[in-house]
A and B are shown apart, each in its own frame.
Chain A
Amino acid sequence: MKKIYYTIAILFCLGTKSWSQTSDTLTLKDLEIPNSPAFILLDQTPSIIERPASSKAFVLNVLNSFQENNGIPKNYAADFTPFWFFKHPNMTSLKFAGYNTEKNRQRIFGNIERASISFAFVTTTDTLTKKSINNLSLGLRFNLLSVRSKKDIDDIKKANTALIALIKERDTRLNLFADIRLAVDSPKVYKAKVKEFYKLEEENLTEDKNNLKDILARKPVFAIDGALGYNNFYIDNKYSDGHFGRFGAWMTANYSTHLDKDGSGKNYFNLYAIGRYLSDGTSLDNGKYQKKNFYDFGGKVELEFKKISIAYEYIYRINDISNTFRSSGLLKYKISDQLFLTGAFGKNFGTANNLISLLGLNWGLSSGSEKATVK
Chain B
Amino acid sequence: MKRNYDTGTDTNQIMLGVKVGTVGTAYTSVYLSRSGGQSSKIEESNEDSGSIKEKIIGDAKQLKNAYLIIRTTVDLSNIDKEQWENQADKIVVKYHIDGGFSGNQTYNYDTDDLDIVLNGKVVVITKPIELA
Chain A residues, CB < 8 A from B67: 181, 184
Known A180-B31, A191-B115; judge A93-B21 contact (CB<8 A).
no
Tell me if A238 is interfacial: C-beta within 8 Å of chain B.
no
In Å, the complex CA distance between A91 and B21 comes to 5
In Å, the complex CA distance between A369 and B47 comes to 31
For residue A17, give the distance in angstroms from its CB to the closest CB of chain B: 15
Taking a contact as CB atoms under 8 Å apart, the answer to whether B33 and A91 are in contact is: no
A interface residues, Cβ below 8 angstroms from B: 27, 29, 54, 56-57, 84-94, 96-97, 101, 160-161, 163-164, 166-168, 170-171, 179-181, 183-184, 187, 190-191, 194-195, 198-199, 201-202, 205, 208, 210, 212-213, 216, 367-369
Tell me if B61 is interfacial: C-beta within 8 Å of chain A.
no
B interface residues, Cβ below 8 angstroms from A: 2, 19-27, 29, 31, 33, 39, 44, 47-51, 67, 69, 71, 73, 75, 77-83, 86-87, 90-92, 94, 112, 115, 117-119, 122, 124, 126, 128, 130
Closest partner residue, chain A, to B31 (CB atom): A180
Taking a contact as CB atoms under 8 Å apart, the answer to whether A89 and B25 are in contact is: no
Known A87-B90, A181-B33; judge A92-B26 contact (CB<8 A).
yes
For residue B61, give the distance in angstroms from its CB to the closest CB of chain A: 21
Which of A86, A171, A201: most chain B Cβ within 10 A?
A171
For residue A175, give the distance in angstroms from its CB to the closest CB of chain B: 8
Interface SS of A by simple majority:
helix
In Å, the complex CA distance between A133 and B8 comes to 74
Of all A-B residue pairs in the complex, the 6 with the closest CB atoms, nearest first, are A198-B117, A89-B21, A92-B49, A93-B25, A167-B27, A212-B78
In Å, the complex CA distance between A126 and B28 comes to 62
Taking a contact as CB atoms under 8 Å apart, the answer to whether A88 and B23 are in contact is: yes
Taking a contact as CB atoms under 8 Å apart, the answer to whether A184 and B86 are in contact is: no
Chain B residues, CB < 8 A from A213: 77-80
Known A160-B25, A180-B69; judge A194-B124 contact (CB<8 A).
yes
Taking a contact as CB atoms under 8 Å apart, the answer to whether B115 and A195 are in contact is: yes
Known: A101-B49, A171-B29. 17 other contacts (CB 8 A): A29-B82, A87-B92, A88-B92, A92-B22, A92-B48, A92-B51, A94-B48, A96-B23, A163-B78, A166-B75, A168-B27, A181-B69, A198-B124, A202-B118, A208-B77, A210-B78, A212-B77
